[in-house]
Each structure stands twice: as C-alpha cells, then as structure tokens.
Amino acid sequence: MKRWLATFALILFSAVTVYAQCPMCKAALTMNREHSNNKPIVGNGINKGILMLLATPYILVGTAGVFFYQYKRKQKNVR
C-alpha cells in the first residue's frame, strides 16, 4: 500500500513540474517567430525535438517487447 501511495505522489508532483515548462517553450517560440520575420527556424527545431522526445519511449518499449516476445517464443519451442 505504501509503495502505491509513494508512486501516486511522485506522479502527482512530477506532473506539476512538467506542466510548468509548457508556457516557457511557447514564449520562446513566439518570441523567435516575431523577431525572425516569420521564419520559424528555432520553432521547427523545438517541434522536431518534442516529437523525438514523444517517440523515444514508444520505440524503447516496443523494442523491449519484441525481444521479450522472441525470447518467450524460443522458450515455448524448446519445451
């Protein structure tokens, strides 16, 4: 029970920190677009970075899932 409560508290408090960063990114992107004559040079880089950060956990978990599936399949064939 204590482990579940600690995990919930950790998720709750880390979500507040992550949510606070969004306005900072928006302000940086907006300022860059205003000062560069509507050429979003840094904005494109930040957007691509966000997509890379979004895709990384799915790629890692998917790769681990494929290896685990192959391992279990080999174990089943051995028996």
Q: Which of the two residues, 10 and 44, has the higher pLDDT score?
A: 10
Choice among 8-12, 52-56, 63-67 with the minimum mean pLDDT = 8-12
Percent over 90 (pLDDT), the chain = 24
Residue-averaged pLDDT of the chain = 76
Cα distance between the two ends of the chain: 38
pLDDT digits (tens, 9 = 90+) for 9-40: 877 776 655 555 566 666 766 665 555 555 65
Residue in the block written with tokens 């930040």: 46
pTM score over 0.75: no
The total domain count for the chain is: 1
H/E element, 79: none
Residues spanned by the domain of 72: 2-78
The answer, yes or no, to whether residue 72 has pLDDT greater than 60, is yes
Read off the tokens for 29.
């992107």
Degrees to nearest 5, angle at CA 48 with 45 and 50: 110
